[in-house]
Structure 1
Amino acid sequence: MKIDGIIFDIDGTLWDVRDEIALALTREAHNQGHPEINFTSENLTSVFGIPPKEVADLFMSHLPPKERYKLMEDCGNHQIKLVESLNTDRTYPGVKDTIKKLAQQYPLFIVSNCPSGYVRAFMRRNKLSPWIMDYEEQGRTGLSKVENIKLVMERSRLKSPIYIGDTKGDAESAKKAGISFVWASYGFGHVDNPEYSIDDFRELHRLLEQ
Structure 2
Amino acid sequence: MSYSLLLFDYDGTLCDTRNAIKYSLRRTFQEFGLVEPVEPALQAVVQQGLPLAETLLALHPAGTSPLPATWVETYRRIYSAEAEPLVTPFPGAQQVLATAVARGCTVAIISNKGLAILENSLARLGLRAYAALVLGDDPMAATPLPLKPDPALFTQRIQPRFPQFTLATTLMIGDTATDLQFARNCGIAACWASYGFGHAPDCAAFKPAHRIGSLAELLPLVA
- The TM-score by the shorter chain falls in which range? 0.7 to 0.9
Go from structure 1 to structure 2 and tell me whether the alpha carbon gap of 1:85 and 1:167 turns closer, same or farther (over 3 Å shift). Answer: closer
Q: Which residue of 1 aligns with 2:106?
A: 107
2:14 and 2:78 mapped to 1: Cα distance?
A: 20
Please report the RMSD computed on the Cα atoms of aligned residues, expressed in angstroms.
Answer: 2.2
- Report deviation, 1:206: 1.5
Q: Which residue of 2 aligns with 1:194?
A: 208
2:90 and 2:209 mapped to 1: Cα distance?
A: 22
TM-score between the two structures when normalised by the length of structure 2:
0.81
Q: Which residue of 2 aligns with 1:144?
A: 147
Q: Which residue of 2 aligns with 1:131?
A: 130
Contact 1:94 1:201 in 2 (8 A): yes
- Report deviation, 1:38: 2.9
> Any idea what the Cα deviations from partners look like across 1:163-208, whole Å, max 9, x if unmatched?
0001112111111112111000111112222211111110101133
User: Are 1:71 and 2:71 an aligned pair?
Assistant: yes
Gaps spanning 5+ residues in structure 2: where? none
Gaps spanning 5+ residues in structure 1: where? none
Go from structure 1 to structure 2 and tell me whether the alpha carbon gap of 1:156 and 1:63 turns closer, same or farther (over 3 Å shift). Answer: farther
Contact 2:5 2:106 in 1 (8 A): yes
- 1:113 partner SS: strand
> Any idea what the Cα deviations from partners look like across 1:14-40, whole Å, max 9, x if unmatched?
121212321233123313433x13364
Percent identity, aligned pairs only, is: 25
TM-score between the two structures when normalised by the length of structure 1:
0.85
Contact 1:9 1:165 in 2 (8 A): yes
Q: Which residue of 2 aligns with 1:164?
A: 173
> Any idea what the Cα deviations from partners look like across 1:58-100, whole Å, max 9, x if unmatched?
11253326x2x521331123213345444xx711111111111
1:187 and 1:131 mapped to 2: Cα distance?
A: 21
Q: Which residue of 1 aligns with 2:217?
A: 203
Q: Which residue of 1 aligns with 2:115?
A: 116
- Report deviation, 1:3: 2.9
| Length, aligned pairs only | 203
